[in-house]
Amino acid sequence: MAGVGAAVVAAAVLPADGAQAGPAGVRVPARYAQQRLNWRPCEGSSSLECASMTVPRDWHRPDAGADLTVAVSRHRASSPAGRRGVLMMAAGGPGASGLNRPAGFVEDEPAVGAAYDVVSFDQRGVGRSTHPVCQTDAEFREFFAHDFRDRSPAAIQGVLARSRKLAQDCQARSGGLLPYLTTEQTVRDMDLFRSLLGARKISYYGPSYATMLGAYYATLYPRRVERAVLDSNVGWAGSWEEFETGQPKSFQRRFEQDFLPWLAKYDTVYHYGRTVQAAKARWEARRRALAAHPLTVGRAVIGPNQLDNGTIQAVYNAKEGFPALASALVALDHGDGAGATERQLMEKVFGSYLSPAFLAEFFSVTCNDTAWNRGVGYWTRRSAKDAAKQPLAGARELAFSSVCAYWPTATAPKVKVTGAGLPTTLMLNSVHDPATYYEAALRDHRALRGSRLVTVSGGGDHGQYRNGNACVDGIVTHYLLTGEAPKHDTTCAADPLPVPAGAQAR
């Protein structure tokens, strides 16, 4: 690409004729707009095609710095005669891979897969795209070692030192990449992808953090959006700091108001306590025991933070997570006497949480996108209160927030989402979602004028479309196929919580 001239053209529909300024004053050099995607079968997938897209490191200074590579994928519409366009997907996190997601999507929603070319990508900083390097596996494990609830001066200094080290390691090992790993830069990659696909407009589906990508894209390129579904919304109407400091409350709510009552209800199966209070007391006792004597299972060392991490992961989805967490808690009580199957389950539930690569992107985006309070004294005081009131996620607040306090100063432009110029956008959220909590979704809904909110009442799963709820799936699929959204905000009842095999509820 380096030998191509530096003329600039608009990233519209290829071929790029009639150069003009792109939205928000960003112009696209011809060496990017005129590239051709070399589609080939994706590794390990029989239904997807993959390609590599070249993007500038900095869309605001496209001639400064080395280019980046963004891995992209597509699943062609299975009914070419009825094809209606492109449906772009993105992954959550930030830090998750989106490259292979179209395959599962079209398998679950064949009618949508028949009507659309379903496309996705690993955003800059993730997976097969150009990505940062922050820490080794050993350094990552050390970040989550010890006990985040320990508020002794030595423990607090240890947390701050490890957070400072993570921020410094990311900066030192990533070759100047960090400032350009932002939502706004990724959104401009998305529009180049749209252009290279030859699409004047796209439809969009994004869950979790990908709701921010969708909201930002729709704000910067409203005339290039046909339909958009934002599923389980992060607080993109505000700052990352505002959003993340609300999570301790929502994770604690999901744990205490959904999981623990379910666990107590099936005491005949798990024998973990007949009341919420008894089940919680037993969980807390196990945490204290692990703080005193961590349990080694396979390659995992399970201490108090690992108990927290496994619990946090499990409450995202009741059907998959609740029974697995309950069985793993029972296995923990068996300790070294647990059988092989129980040990495998414990290692899976409590020994796998995020990764060094995930956190590298997560912190890059969340620390870069919006300004953070950079006072570690402030975070020390605030985290003490949140750890006491909402300990499940509040205990880790100091470790996570102080990374952003130590991060290089953010320079990303703020994107204010208004909904101006957009067609009706569909938003989905459950009332007890622990990660993308309902209160933030309501603020997002108010900011995105003309949107319709589908509230899933009586539940708390994270990710609503393709989660088995016929009401939600029917609304979203109909919208994607016809463009018809509900006339007003509406509600779907959550599916019942799972019933363990052979259970007799009290």
Name the helix (H) or strand (E) containing 152. Answer: none
Q: What is the mean pLDDT of residues 337-356?
A: 95
Instruction: Between 12 and 318, name the one with better pLDDT.
Output: 318
Residues 167 and 300 in one domain: no
Strands (DSSP E) along 208-324, which ranges? 225-231, 295-297, 300-302
Alpha-carbon gap, residue 471 to 492, rounded angstroms: 6
Q: Which amino acid is at 284?
A: E
Q: How confident is the model at residue 10 (pLDDT cuts 50, 70, 90)?
A: very low
Residue 23 pLDDT: 54
Instruction: Say which residues have a Cβ less than 8 Å from residue 293's Cβ, sequence separation at least 6.
Output: none
45: alpha, beta or left, given left = phi > 0 and alpha = psi -120 to 50? beta
Domain boundary among 362, 378, 406: 406
Strands (DSSP E) along 31-148, which ranges? 40-41, 49-55, 68-75, 85-89, 116-121
Percent of the chain whose pLDDT exceeds 90? 91
Closest CA to 254 of 204, 202, 313, 201: 313
Checking DSSP bridges between strand 85-89 and strand 202-207, what pairing results, if any?
parallel
The count of domains in the chain is 3
Residues 215 and 74 in one domain: yes
Q: Is residue 93 part of a domain?
A: yes
Q: Is residue 14 part of a domain?
A: no
- With 60 as the cut, is the pLDDT of residue 18 above it? no
Q: pLDDT digit string (tens) for 125-138?
A: 999 999 999 999 99
Closest CA to 293 of 332, 323, 267, 319: 332
- With 90 as the cut, is the pLDDT of residue 186 above it? yes
Alpha-carbon gap, residue 187 to 27, rounded angstroms: 14
Q: pLDDT digit string (tens) for 82-113?
A: 999 999 999 999 999 999 999 999 999 999 99
Residues 87 and 230 in one domain: yes
Alpha-carbon gap, residue 228 to 201, rounded angstroms: 11
CATH code at position 204: 3.40.50.1820
End-to-end CA distance of the chain: 67
Residues 105 and 200 in one domain: yes
Q: Is residue 101 part of a domain?
A: yes
Domain boundary among 306, 332, 351: 351
Alpha-carbon gap, residue 318 to 320, rounded angstroms: 6
For residue 15, is the peptide bond before it cis, meaning its omega torsion is within 30 degrees of 0? yes
Residue 347 pLDDT: 97
Q: Give me the sign of the Cα torsion angle 234, 240, 244, 245.
A: negative
Closest CA to 477 of 464, 490, 488: 464
SS3 134: coil
Residues 55 and 199 in one domain: yes
Q: pLDDT digit string (tens) for 361-381?
A: 999 999 999 999 999 999 999
Q: Is residue 9 part of a domain?
A: no
Residues 335 and 459 in one domain: no
Q: Is residue 40 part of a domain?
A: no
Contact indicator for 50, 28 with CB cutoff of 8 Å: no
Q: Is residue 23 part of a domain?
A: no
Q: pLDDT digit string (tens) for 266-323?
A: 999 999 999 999 999 999 999 999 999 999 999 999 999 999 999 999 999 999 999 9
Alpha-carbon gap, residue 156 to 147, rounded angstroms: 10
What is the domain range of residue 157?
137-178+354-406
Alpha-carbon gap, residue 141 to 27, rounded angstroms: 43
The reported pTM is: 0.94
Alpha-carbon gap, residue 79 to 96, rounded angstroms: 30
Alpha-carbon gap, residue 121 to 99, rounded angstroms: 5
For residue 80, is the peptide bond before it cis, meaning its omega torsion is within 30 degrees of 0? no
Q: pLDDT digit string (tens) for 472-482?
A: 999 999 999 99
DSSP state letters, 433-491: -SSS-HHHHHHHHHHSTT-EEEEEET---S--TTSS-HHHHHHHHHHHHH----SS-EE
CB count within 10 Å of CB 437 equals 27
Q: Is residue 328 part of a domain?
A: yes
Domain boundary among 406, 430, 448: 406
Q: Is residue 37 part of a domain?
A: no
Residues 259 and 325 in one domain: yes
Residues 296 and 233 in one domain: no
Which range among 153-167, 181-195, 316-330, 491-505 shows the weakest confidence by mean pLDDT? 491-505
Residues 87 and 227 in one domain: yes
Instruction: Say which residues have a Cβ less than 8 Å from residue 367's Cβ, sequence separation at least 6.
Output: 167, 240, 403, 404, 407, 410
Q: How confident is the model at residue 230 (pLDDT cuts 50, 70, 90)?
A: very high
Q: What is the mean pLDDT of residues 175-194?
A: 97
Alpha-carbon gap, residue 275 to 7, rounded angstroms: 69
Closest CA to 100 of 129, 120, 116: 120
Residues 224 and 344 in one domain: no
Residue 46 pLDDT: 82
Residues 314 and 195 in one domain: no
DSSP state letters, 390-443: SHHHHTTHHHHHHHHHHSPPP-PPP-----TTPPPPEEEEETT-SSS-HHHHHH
DSSP state letters, 48-68: -EEEEEEE-S-TTSTTSS--E
Residues 112 and 200 in one domain: yes
The single residue listed with the structure tokens 């389950």 is 345
Q: pLDDT digit string (tens) for 209-228?
A: 999 999 999 999 999 999 99
- With 50 as the cut, is the pLDDT of residue 399 above it? yes
